[in-house]
Homo-oligomer: A and B are copies of this chain.
Amino acid sequence: MEKKIKIGLIGLGTVGTGVVKVLKNFDNIEIKGVAVHNINKPREVEVSNLTDDPYKLVNDPEIDIIVEVIGGCNPALDIIETAIKNGKHVVTANKELLARHGAYIFDLANKYNKVILYEAAVAGGIPIITPIKTTMRVNEFESVAGILNGTTNYILTKMEEEGLSYKDCLKKAQDLGYAETNPTSDVEGYDAMYKIATLANIAFNKRIDINKIFKEGITKITKEDIDFANELGYKIKLIGLARKTENGKIDVRVHPMLVEKDNPMAKIGNALNAVLVKGHPIGEVVFSGPGAGEFPTASSVAGDILIIASELNKYDEILPMARCNHTEFANQVDILDTENSYYISITAKNIHGTIGYIGTICGKNHINILSILQKGLSSDHKSARIIVITEKCFEKDIQNAVKELENIGENDEKFISINNIIRVME
């Protein structure tokens, strides 16, 4: 009979509550204490040893594993740091902490011969971290791309299905509890950025500097963009992308993308998440499922706890494959040096030669136009909406072309304005 593994749970919000419920069925795991911000707040689950001092738990010599589900870096970083120094293994769902301070805490964990598991930090309930670190370990990964934020995927899905504006769909998401009152972290792409940083990190065995990750959210996506994309055979998704370039650099970014309708990513609707992994020898595999929520996330957190518990009784140096085995930072690509195909939404004054301007300036900047779409004129006949899809070209050339286009005009009157630029997924 195994000895009971004692855990200290830091945080009793949605995820923490789910973890308590799930672990009830496992009598080899004992929740020795739970640290919360307000011990007087009524709770959905009954827990003994509620405390408002997390250090009571991280300093408790009886506790084997600290489970951190409060999110954010402060005080989570110090709590985890102290836990590791006190000889505890760590399970966390904290994507921001991993993205910002992963290098430090993984070094610390290795120094103290402890493991940090974080399956729940990326794509909630979907098993992706452990499969990449174990079953798929033999692979030379080419790219990892994902729909990693359920809130924005829900908003984009509703915009498409119900023809509503971004604002209306954000409101819907907030009413349903999919989006926070302050939705910045989701809609501006921070959440997806933290997650793709972690995926890039384990897929390419390099550390990722999130300050070098290009990030763009979905706030500029309009109903028109979605309709035009649809007409051209695409859906618009917020994609976290990490790929290895020919010269061995790592290209990591988060931004909306036009995704061909027959791409598996295009079929992931509502609040679901999906991760598409390409590599050799495996080829292409897709993992999809619930990216958030009390129970799916608890499935991953509790899974990590069982994984640690399974070896904890037996070995001193547990789970070698789960450890961080790299310290080198990736040579990250600047977005300006990336090559993409682009969707460009243009509003042009109804004057002679506008299409000519567009064609000429694109050509001058080494940009080939793949397709162009203009549907009549605005109701007042003063302007036209023109959609251009380019062939693959350099981001810096696109940026230059856009500047030039926006400068065309007479006196103070500009002829062309760019409504939106969206990259197209390969």
Picked from B25, B280, B321, the residue with its CB within 8 Å of the CB of A295 is: B280
Does any Cβ of B come within 8 Å of A326's Cβ?
no
Interface contact B299-A290, CB-CB below 8 Å: no
Provide the residues of chain B in CB contact with A287, threshold 8 Å.
285-287
Residues 50-75 of chain A, each 1 if its beta carbon lies under 8 Å from chain B, else 0: 00000000000000000000000000
Interface contact A281-B307, CB-CB below 8 Å: no
Cα-based distance from A130 to B322 in the complex (angstroms): 14
Provide the residues of chain B in CB contact with A139, threshold 8 Å.
299
Cα-based distance from A373 to B26 in the complex (angstroms): 51
Binds B, one of A6-14, A119-127, A190-198, A348-356: A119-127
Cα-based distance from A138 to B126 in the complex (angstroms): 13
Q: Give min CB distance, A262 to chain B, whole Å.
A: 9
Picked from B130, B264, B288, the residue with its CB within 8 Å of the CB of A131 is: B130
Interface contact A321-B299, CB-CB below 8 Å: no
Provide the residues of chain B in CB contact with A130, threshold 8 Å.
130-131, 134-135
Interface contact B119-A303, CB-CB below 8 Å: no
Identify the closest chain B residue to A305 (Cβ): B138
Does any Cβ of B come within 8 Å of A221's Cβ?
no
Picked from B264, B303, B314, the residue with its CB within 8 Å of the CB of A288 is: B264
Q: Give min CB distance, A139 to chain B, whole Å.
A: 6
Given A307-B135, A307-B321: A296 touches B314 (CB 8 Å cut-off)? no
Interface contact A286-B288, CB-CB below 8 Å: yes
Provide the residues of chain B in CB contact with A125, threshold 8 Å.
281-283, 285
Residues 134-145 of chain A, each 1 if its beta carbon lies under 8 Å from chain B, else 0: 111111100000
Interface residues of A in 153-181 (CB under 8 A from B): none
Q: Give min CB distance, A306 to chain B, whole Å.
A: 5
Does any Cβ of B come within 8 Å of A317's Cβ?
yes
Identify the closest chain B residue to A21 (Cβ): B281
Interface contact B126-A285, CB-CB below 8 Å: yes
Residues 298-332 of chain A, each 1 if its beta carbon lies under 8 Å from chain B, else 0: 11101110110011001101001100000000000
Q: Which of A21, A282, A300, A303 gathers most chain B CB within 10 Å?
A: A282
List 19 A–B pairs whose Cβ atoms lie within 8 Å, in order of A's numbering.
A22-B138, A119-B135, A125-B281, A125-B285, A130-B130, A135-B303, A135-B304, A138-B299, A138-B303, A264-B267, A280-B295, A281-B296, A281-B299, A283-B289, A285-B289, A286-B289, A307-B321, A310-B321, A314-B317
> 6 nearest interchain CB pairs?
A285-B289, A281-B295, A127-B135, A127-B131, A282-B299, A138-B302
Beyond the given pairs A127-B131, A134-B303, A138-B303, 11 more chain A to chain B contacts, judged by CB atoms under 8 angstroms and listed by A's residue number, are A25-B140, A134-B307, A280-B295, A282-B290, A282-B299, A284-B289, A285-B288, A286-B286, A287-B287, A310-B320, A310-B321
